Structures are given as C-alpha cells and as structure tokens.
C-alpha cells in the first residue's frame, strides 16, 4: 500500500511556493523597472537581463491560445499534486522535481491569467547562438523535469502487482 501525504510532502509544496514567489517578484521587477526590449548585460556575450513578453508556450509556440494553456495547466497541476501525495519518503528527488514543476507551472499560469502574457527576462548566449529568453518558472520546470527523469531512470523501482 502506498503512503499518501505526510509531513515530508509539505516540503515540496513549500518549494513550489518559493519558486512562485521568486518568479513573480523577478517578473514584477522587470515589468516595473525595465522598458520592453531593454537589455542589461550581466556577463557580456553570455548573460543578459532582457525585458521580453511571450503570448504563447515555449519559444512563442501556439501564441494566443490561452484557453488551451489554462486547460493544460489545470490538468498538469492536478496531476503533479496527485503524484506528490503518492510519493514514498524515499522518493525525495522525484518530490523536489515535482515541487519545482508545480511552482513553475503556477508561476507562468499567474502571468497568463493576470497579464495575458508571460514575462521573460533571462537571455543567454551559447557561443553565437541567442537562446530564447526565459524566466524563473521556465527554469524550475526544466530542472524539475530533469530531476524527475533522473529519478525514473536511475532510482525508481518497478512496483509488483497484487497477484
């Protein structure tokens, strides 16, 4: 029988809350203090803070399809919460990954609901390639997915059915 919930589970929700707060605070700073398109070098030719807006999904795909993003986000958030509640105490890596994914999904959802666009501002260059501008929520989602895959491929053990 799987353990549901428990004290350890709360930490994953706190992690999600921390991601949401950091994400929304950094986006507020960009909107408040930067002009759209303005760019501040942090490390020349590598990292910039660039005020950018995105009305679609990753890299601007499906621009303006808000109803689709709302629906997908609600389903994803519900699924993440269900999986977090079903985690075993030994599945901390998966829990951290899911907490990051939950915070990232909600962070960008807040933007879509209240701004009708997502605020992006982290602009990196890999050599001469200008990587698409992203934000804290995007970073949390990406790291969360990577941690979940690492957990699944290296640490998860298949469960035996009740036969």
Enzyme catalytic residues: 120, 138
Cross-strand partners of 126 = 129
CA–CA distance, 83 with 86 (Å, rounded to integer): 5
Q: Which helix (H) or strand (E) holds 124?
A: strand 118-126
CA–CA distance, 134 with 33 (Å, rounded to integer): 18
Q: Which helix (H) or strand (E) holds 43?
A: strand 39-43
Check if the beta carbon of residue 144 is closer than 8 Å to that of residue 106. Answer: no
Q: Would you tell me how many other CB atoms lie within 10 Å of the CB of residue 106?
A: 21
Q: Which helix (H) or strand (E) holds 47?
A: strand 47-54
CA–CA distance, 2 with 87 (Å, rounded to integer): 8
């Amino acid at each position: 029988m799987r353990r549901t919930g428990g004290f350890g589970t709360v930490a994953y929700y706190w992690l999600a809350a921390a991601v949401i707060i950091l994400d929304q605070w950094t986006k507020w700073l960009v909107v408040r203090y930067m002009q759209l398109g303005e760019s501040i070098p942090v490390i020349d030719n590598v990292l910039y803070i660039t005020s950018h807006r995105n009305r679609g999904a990753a890299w601007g795909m499906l621009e303006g399809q808000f109803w689709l993003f709302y629906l997908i986000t609600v389903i994803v958030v519900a699924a993440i919460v269900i999986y977090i509640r079903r985690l075993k105490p030994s599945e901390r890596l998966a829990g951290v990954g899911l907490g990051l994914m939950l915070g990232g999904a909600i962070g960008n959802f807040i933007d879509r609901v209240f701004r009708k666009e997502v605020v992006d501002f982290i602009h990196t260059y890999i050599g001469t390639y200008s990587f698409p501008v992203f934000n804290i929520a995007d970073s949390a989602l990406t790291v969360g997915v990577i941690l979940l895959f690492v957990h699944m491929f290296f640490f998860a053990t298949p469960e035996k059915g009740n036969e």
